Structure 1
Amino acid sequence: LSDKEIPITKIYGKTPIDIGGSGLNVKNILAENEKKAWEADIRYHLNYVLDRQLIPGLIYRINNGKLEKVDFKESSAETKELTSELRNLFKGEKPEMQEFSEKFIDIFLTPIPDVKRVAMDIEVEVGEHDYRIPDARLAKQAIIAISFVASDGLKIVYVLEREGFTFDKLHKEFPDDAKIIFFKSEKELLTESFRIMWEYPVVITFNGDNFDLNYMFHRAEKLKIDKDLNPIHVKRGFGIMAKSECDLRKGIHIDIFNFFFNRSISGYAFGGSYQSASLNAISEALLGEKKYEHEEEIHDMEYDILSWYNLKDSILTLALTKFNNSLVWNLIILLCRITKLPMHDMIRRQISTWIQNIFYFEHRRKEMLIPRKSEISEAKKGGALMSKFNGQKFQGAYVIDPVPGIHYDVVVMDFASLYPSIIKEFNLSYETVLCPHKDDEDNLIKGTPYHICTHKMGIFAYVVGFFRDTRVKYFKPKSSDKNLTQKQRSYYHTIQQALKVFINASYGVFGSQNFPLFCLPVAESTTGIGQYSIKQTILKAEELGVKVLYGDTDSVFLLNPSNSQMKEISDWSKRELDLDLEEEKTYQFLALSQRKKNYIGIYKDTKYVDIKGLVAKKKNTPDFIKNAFSQLIEILKEITNDEEFNLAKKKIIEIVKSNLNKIGQPDAFTLEDYAINIGLQKNLKDYVKTIPQHVRAANTFIKTEIKKAQANNASDDEIDAIKRQYQKGDSVRFIKSKGHLGAKVIEMSKLQDIDSKKYRELLKSALEQVLDALDISFEEISGIKKMDAFF
């Protein structure tokens, strides 16, 4: 912050509890004496990594009791060439960036080993009155099956023998190379399962933190299995994704649910291809496969069905780490290298922690003291560009009003990674904006009243700049280079996807007031320059005679520009703004509504449909509306001119009319077609002031079920199980119903309960934005004519 050395005292403790925790420790002694410590909130094992500058995911050897990193820069002709090309990429850059790139170039050069790993899944006996997933901590019910599928070919299911079940055949889909082994005792089944887990360096589960491993650990305790045989270690969850975390005493546990649930992974790495973070949804989206579908309850399954159902889950779990040349496994290793986080932490933490650790690592490498958040806000107050603050927001992205209507041959020109580019090119970092150097006070940032440092490149600027440039200028082009082998292209694609996750999220993290290195003038300057750049680009396009239809954050929509006009705009942007502006996509057909961030575009050639801001895409939309929406989109794909549009318009009106007429009619839609899914953000009892419709529906269902159970003299345990049926994180599946409650869970509903008026309103709110973009009035479709039709 002050760009000078200061004297500090470093305190060492023999154990972590000497530093923090309860009782007498360094932190408490300092607090009692009103002294503040720096860097005192970094977890112990992470401090070890930072101090020793270890990079998880790289390859080390032990030499004379010391860890040595294995250097791959000169290991083969391919890595020599890659090293040379990456070095050349940063030749003309500032010294800080050149030094950083030289130091961390090996995160891309070091080969990723395909480590032996085993996926596993458990099935638990669920009683007739157990309405939800068994509680892992209580582990009351028996484990009736455990399956293992490994990268070395192992496929095995351990099944518990139970009364009333006999084994006479394998399921028809059960693989020929898989085995089933039966156990008379659950204790033996668990002990043998633990033996397999000890053998593999990596164990993969889907939601194993919250359930599989957690349940096995507590069940083993209940069965009094020797603790030395149990490979699982359970600890309290850290963050929002898991109530608990399961480690292995030897090896690594990867819960891939946490990985796929991470919004940065689902959005940036996989482009939102799966709608929910369930094993079924992810497998269907990425593998084209689904879980085994069954009608009977798990505890009622015959051995052949149970063993195949259980094995299939493990097959899918392992496949998610192996598909597309082990894309997910490689992504995990690369993200560990980039974030400098151990695998356990990287998978279970959000992107903000990833980025925080990158910068903490760099501070420690350069022997820079990590400032306290309060110190940054005190030294760099900012606020000059605020629209609202104190719990609200500084100025955001610039969006111009769209030109509503139908347009053809629309080119979208996009600033490549706008905010990361701005951070690099304008040297934005907490220590460089409003720096302490007097000779920089006149060096103002475009579009802001803040000055910027010329003495050095800021830590945000060169770290973000390095990752942005390696992706945009090297790995992204290489990933589609037809001169390379498929294996090479696949590896480069994985690298550019990993970098994309970090680059795209970086500004969102920098702009969050919860980020430990948050600096308001940096956030303001980034959006300020972004706004300035978009405004200037629009003026330039109009000056060249190109009509601008829309502008959104980092892109401009241009109506049928010539190649020479696009080149002129691109050259001007690099020259005047120091930013890369390129053609990103071309729409053969674009429908813009009057609303901002609301349009439908059909890509030229590929027919890919680009939809922004439309309600019908949301996962809690009823199926019949989703189906109507899909039909509309298929029709739009064929439009290239006004004549085709007018024909399409008539078809779309018929589809909407048909759906309106079907609502509430017997035999038109099923109850499932009307169902709405909404998740519980908290436990039912915690909804006090405002009680949403899905919560009302769940409460009513539970009250009704309790009355039924009491009439049948149910036990207290059975009543408790009913009360626990809906908890935080569960989805409530309900319909909009007639009557004062307005909602009923699907289990209590009949078709005649449907409130037709509410569903017509829902269809209208979901499709109105699409129709609005196409200049079709919903009122006109439903029989209410536009006023101008009478004149």
Structure 2
Amino acid sequence: MNPAQYKAFLLTRHWRDGANGIELQFWAHSASGPLRLIYPDQKAVCFIARDTALPLDGVRVERKPLQLTDMQGQPVDGLYFQQQRQLQQLRERTAGSSTLLLESDIKVVDRFLMERFVTAPMQVTGNPRQRNGYLELINPRIQPIEYQPELSYLSLDIETDGSANQVLSIAFCGPGVRRILMQGEASDWPSDLPIHWVRDEAQLLREFLQQMQQLDPDLILGWNLINFDLDYLERRCRAHHIPFTLGRGGEQATILQPQQSGQARIASIPGRVALDGIDNLRAAFWSFDSFALDHVAEKLLGRKKLISGSQDKLAEIQRQFREDRPALAAYNLEDCRLVEDIFQQTDLINFVRQRATMTGLSLGRQGGSVAAFDNLYLPLLHREGVVAHDIGAFHHSQTSPGGYVMDSQPGLYQNVLVLDFKSLYPSIIRTFRIDPLGMAFPGDDPIPGFLEARFARERHLLPGIISRLWASRDEAKRRQDKALSQAIKIIMNSFYGVLGSSGCRFYDPRLASSITRRGHEIITRSRDWLEAAGYPVIYGDTDSVFVLLGEGYDEARADATGRQLARELNSWWNDTIAREFRVQSALEIEYETHFIQFIMPTIRGTETGSKKRYAGVIRNVQGEYELVFKGLESVRSDWTPLAQRFQRELYRRIFFQEPYEAYISDLVEQLKRGELDRELVYRKRLRRKLDDYQRNVPPHVQAARKLDKPGRTVSYLITLNGPEPAEHYFSGRSGSPIDYQHYIDRQIEPVADGILHFLDDSFRRITADQLTLF
């Protein structure tokens, strides 16, 4: 019988120590249904320098000489362990000693995949056995392929009684599925909604687990899914002595609790991946003032939750459960639909799938830049006959600088061009062959770096990895696959951060400095070339230069000048790098933006130009004027909506030479009359527990302490008696009036003077009579 072949996509990975070795388990999606791949009797592996003695007392290990070296060129031996715990024992024994283990910190499941160059898509070849709802294969062959399947999903949300700690209802939805499980009797609560009634919480939990097995999704979507919904469900199952069999094939799931403060919970669900909307939007670099579901849904979908943020949510849930359970069911289901629609609107599932394909990281994993680098780099390093040290094996006294930020020339300008180096740091790595292996074995004719680093012209790995990712991103752009393009961009741009992080096994200040200091040199020499050509540079920021054209340029001439400068500067860099380093330049400067009007502000209260803060007017792709703000109040979440709206309108009027004095005066009058109170709300996130704030307690913490159950983000106003929660003020529970002078002094005046300064005007002059009367 010939082995069967399946195109598969990895979902989850697991391992456990057995009597005869380590058992690896992988769950994967396939068109033939879920696959469970089992590899019994595997060994844990690490390496050690051949001339290093090994403390073997009580540790069972097999040692073999290998045709490999470490990064210093010394030959190494392989150490093989029947159980992972034996390797861990050796790690604990050698911690803090002079004995250096090599790659002992790589998980056995990750090594198994990376040595086969499998990230997520793979071809599985083996003999299947039909199990209950899935196919099982023992020791199948796996190899990488191109495969991007449509993964099945359900969006999940639960509603609870905050006082009794019970789960009241559970809703889930997905393609062709809309369902609510709720405690109660159908005869008591007639409804057209797809409600499945159960008698009590225990039956609710059992029914939920059974239906998840029947519907059998690859992915579970949610909002604060792991930290709340899944953690809550597991705890309630435990209270009823119900096994939390959320995994495929009835396998038990576990919500792993954080070991240290600040760590997140992890959902271990065999065969299924939990994807939290908040975490994955952040991973894809989406930004919102608040990641509350109500706020994000309104911004992306134009819809809100059925119980609004202005209501006492818990009290309303309890009331609906007592008086109107179909309304609670509708609310529960709508939350699921909002999450599902946000994932679709942002193409998040595609982004997560592409990220796993590019990096080898688990679908549900957040962060993991160092692990992604290992997954891509180590298999290639091993093919070069070299193994790496453990993370933290070496300590360095030198440091590397961050990105270069040029001193700005503050002012109000016309016609400013932005020339931007496309992916500058990845381009530097490609051009100057910056690479851990290449630095370890530089050869006879190396390319100079910084801090005495030297890099091999031929023997290197990282430039090739980036070149392949670069080509993939260009292809993704051509196909208009924004999710793939964004995933690749994030990966490429993370490589400098990885090499500059002490959490990376290849960390060395010479590597990071050879990237950042080269970036400094490229920006400053570009500025010098532009100014020698007669074009003043008023600012530079990591990978961009801001070129002042000034008056006398219409938009067509400014665009033509920008394109010409980009062509000539690229040509100059190609020639310069070929002459000075004898390599081909991968640098590419692009004409990015024409600011028709532009302001570079000062640092507040000084004449010094600010950094990473500016605003201007561009013409967008629709041919319309558009205001762009960078780092200023209108795009900062710690400023009030009023200050943000005021800045945008004031800047617009000044940019387009419209009257502004009456606008400022009228707004101050409206503010004092209490007509703008809803726009005076500050929103700030709690970074720690309330009890952790003991000295210099900030306003949002003072407000949070007045709430019965504060959430992660606190909304508050400044009153004459100090910070008050917004919900207290607007519900009449706060008797203190708003401190309007605070908002004038701290929000409106600083915003106004940030631009009026350049017109020899001031907020005080315009509002002098009003403030005197006030």
TM range (shorter): 0.7 to 0.9
2:768 is matched with which residue?
783
Tell me how far 1:310 sits from its aligned partner. Answer: 0.6
Q: Distance in 2 between matches of 1:675 and 1:331?
A: 34
**Structure having greater relative contact order (Cα 8 Å, sep ≥ 6):** 1
Q: Distance in 2 between matches of 1:240 and 1:505?
A: 25
Query: Secondary structure of 2:436's match?
Result: coil
Contact kept in structure 2, 1:246 and 1:253, CA below 8 Å:
yes
Q: Distance in 2 between matches of 1:242 and 1:466?
A: 34
1:321 is matched with which residue?
343
Query: Secondary structure of 1:524's match?
Result: helix
Q: Say which of 512, 516, 522 aligns to 1:527.
A: 516
Tell me how far 1:203 sits from its aligned partner. Answer: 2.1
Matched, 1:10 2:12: no
Tell me how far 1:684 sits from its aligned partner. Answer: 2.0
Query: Secondary structure of 1:121's match?
Result: strand
* Structure-2 change in CA distance of 1:155 and 1:774 (3 Å): farther
Q: Distance in 2 between matches of 1:160 and 1:771?
A: 62
Q: Distance in 1 between matches of 2:422 and 2:685?
A: 36
* Structure-2 change in CA distance of 1:341 and 1:239 (3 Å): farther
* Structure-2 change in CA distance of 1:321 and 1:738 (3 Å): closer
**CA displacement 1:608-632 (0-9 Å, x = unmatched):** 3321121232223223223323434
* Structure-2 change in CA distance of 1:402 and 1:431 (3 Å): farther
Contact kept in structure 2, 1:220 and 1:230, CA below 8 Å:
no
Q: Distance in 2 between matches of 1:32 and 1:531?
A: 38
* Structure-2 change in CA distance of 1:738 and 1:342 (3 Å): same
1:203 is matched with which residue?
220
2:413 is matched with which residue?
406
Contact kept in structure 2, 1:53 and 1:365, CA below 8 Å:
no
Q: Distance in 2 between matches of 1:666 and 1:230?
A: 63
2:269 is matched with which residue?
248
1:596 is matched with which residue?
611
Q: Distance in 2 between matches of 1:496 and 1:364?
A: 29
2:462 is matched with which residue?
460
Letter aligned with residue 470 of structure 1: S
Tell me how far 1:425 sits from its aligned partner. Answer: 0.6
Q: Say which of 137, 148, 156 aligns to 2:179.
A: 156
Tell me how far 1:312 sits from its aligned partner. Answer: 1.0
Q: Say which of 589, 592, 595 aligns to 1:584.
A: 592
Letter aligned with residue 17 of structure 1: R
Q: Distance in 1 between matches of 2:274 and 2:402?
A: 42
Q: Which runs of 5+ in 2 are unaligned?
A: 1-68, 128-136, 550-557, 578-584, 602-608
2:676 is matched with which residue?
669
Q: Distance in 1 between matches of 2:428 and 2:109?
A: 34
* Structure-2 change in CA distance of 1:361 and 1:217 (3 Å): farther
Q: Distance in 1 between matches of 2:121 and 2:766?
A: 59
Tell me how far 1:526 sits from its aligned partner. Answer: 1.4
Contact kept in structure 1, 2:443 and 2:456, CA below 8 Å:
no
2:389 is matched with which residue?
371
Q: Distance in 2 between matches of 1:62 and 1:543?
A: 67
Tell me how far 1:590 sits from its aligned partner. Answer: 1.8
Contact kept in structure 1, 2:684 and 2:713, CA below 8 Å:
yes
1:756 is matched with which residue?
740
Q: Say which of 118, 124, 142 aligns to 1:60.
A: 124
**CA displacement 1:26-63 (0-9 Å, x = unmatched):** 22344597533222222343233334443224453436
1:290 is matched with which residue?
304
Letter aligned with residue 284 of structure 1: E
Contact kept in structure 2, 1:411 and 1:586, CA below 8 Å:
yes
Tell me how far 1:114 sits from its aligned partner. Answer: 0.6
Tell me how far 1:306 sits from its aligned partner. Answer: 0.8
Q: Distance in 2 between matches of 1:146 and 1:169?
A: 16
Identity %: 20
Tell me how far 1:194 sits from its aligned partner. Answer: 0.6
* Structure-2 change in CA distance of 1:242 and 1:150 (3 Å): farther
Q: Distance in 1 between matches of 2:372 and 2:299?
A: 26
Matched, 1:304 2:326: yes
Q: Distance in 2 between matches of 1:299 and 1:661?
A: 42
Q: Distance in 2 between matches of 1:430 and 1:70?
A: 27
Contact kept in structure 1, 2:391 and 2:503, CA below 8 Å:
no
* Structure-2 change in CA distance of 1:146 and 1:286 (3 Å): same
Contact kept in structure 2, 1:628 and 1:655, CA below 8 Å:
no
Q: Which residues of 2 match residues 95-174 of structure 1 at below 5 A?
A: 110-127=146-163, 141-151=165-175, 153-161=176-184, 166-170=188-192
Contact kept in structure 2, 1:440 and 1:452, CA below 8 Å:
no
* Structure-2 change in CA distance of 1:323 and 1:240 (3 Å): farther
Letter aligned with residue 107 of structure 2: R
Tell me how far 1:415 sits from its aligned partner. Answer: 0.7
Matched, 1:225 2:229: no
Tell me how far 1:211 sits from its aligned partner. Answer: 1.1
1:439 is matched with which residue?
444
Tell me how far 1:331 sits from its aligned partner. Answer: 1.3
* Structure-2 change in CA distance of 1:773 and 1:225 (3 Å): farther
Q: Distance in 1 between matches of 2:338 and 2:276?
A: 13
Query: Secondary structure of 2:743's match?
Result: helix
Query: Secondary structure of 2:467's match?
Result: helix
TM-score where L is the length of structure 1 = 0.74
2:206 is matched with which residue?
191
Contact kept in structure 1, 2:539 and 2:545, CA below 8 Å:
yes
Contact kept in structure 2, 1:402 and 1:551, CA below 8 Å:
no
Q: Say which of 357, 360, 367 aligns to 1:337.
A: 357
**CA displacement 1:539-581 (0-9 Å, x = unmatched):** 2222323333332221122223625444322322333243211
Q: Which runs of 5+ in 1 are unaligned?
A: 72-105, 128-139, 171-177, 384-388, 480-488, 640-644, 703-721, 786-791
Matched, 1:765 2:745: no
* Structure-2 change in CA distance of 1:555 and 1:349 (3 Å): closer
Matched, 1:27 2:109: no
Contact kept in structure 2, 1:427 and 1:452, CA below 8 Å:
no
Letter aligned with residue 168 of structure 2: I
Q: Distance in 2 between matches of 1:780 and 1:59?
A: 73
Contact kept in structure 2, 1:340 and 1:361, CA below 8 Å:
no
* Structure-2 change in CA distance of 1:778 and 1:249 (3 Å): same
Q: Distance in 2 between matches of 1:349 and 1:66?
A: 31
Query: Secondary structure of 1:10's match?
Result: strand
**CA displacement 1:300-335 (0-9 Å, x = unmatched):** 1222221111111111222233347xx221211111
Q: Which residues of 2 match residues 538-617 of structure 1 at below 5 A?
A: 538-558=527-547, 559=549, 560=558, 562=561, 563-577=563-577, 578=585, 579-593=587-601, 594-604=609-619, 605-617=623-635
Q: Distance in 2 between matches of 1:231 and 1:371?
A: 36
Structure number with the higher helix fraction is 1
Matched, 1:235 2:239: no
Contact kept in structure 2, 1:238 and 1:244, CA below 8 Å:
no
Number of equivalent positions: 645
Q: Distance in 1 between matches of 2:453 and 2:277?
A: 45
Q: Distance in 1 between matches of 2:517 and 2:704?
A: 47
Query: Secondary structure of 1:628's match?
Result: helix
Tell me how far 1:298 sits from its aligned partner. Answer: 1.0
Q: Distance in 2 between matches of 1:8 and 1:70?
A: 28
Letter aligned with residue 638 of structure 2: N
Tell me how far 1:259 sits from its aligned partner. Answer: 1.4
Contact kept in structure 2, 1:147 and 1:314, CA below 8 Å:
yes
* Structure-2 change in CA distance of 1:427 and 1:198 (3 Å): same
Tell me how far 1:16 sits from its aligned partner. Answer: 2.4
Once the two structures are overlaid, the 10-residue window that deviates more, 424-433 or 519-528, is 424-433
**CA displacement 1:699-719 (0-9 Å, x = unmatched):** 4x27xxxxxxxxxxxxxxxxx
Tell me how far 1:210 sits from its aligned partner. Answer: 0.8
Query: Secondary structure of 1:504's match?
Result: helix
Letter aligned with residue 766 of structure 2: I
Query: Secondary structure of 2:327's match?
Result: helix
Tell me how far 1:374 sits from its aligned partner. Answer: 5.1
* Structure-2 change in CA distance of 1:751 and 1:667 (3 Å): farther
1:133 is matched with which residue?
none
Tell me how far 1:6 sits from its aligned partner. Answer: 2.9
Contact kept in structure 2, 1:194 and 1:230, CA below 8 Å:
no
Matched, 1:49 2:113: yes
Q: Distance in 1 between matches of 2:759 and 2:465?
A: 44
Query: Secondary structure of 2:103's match?
Result: coil
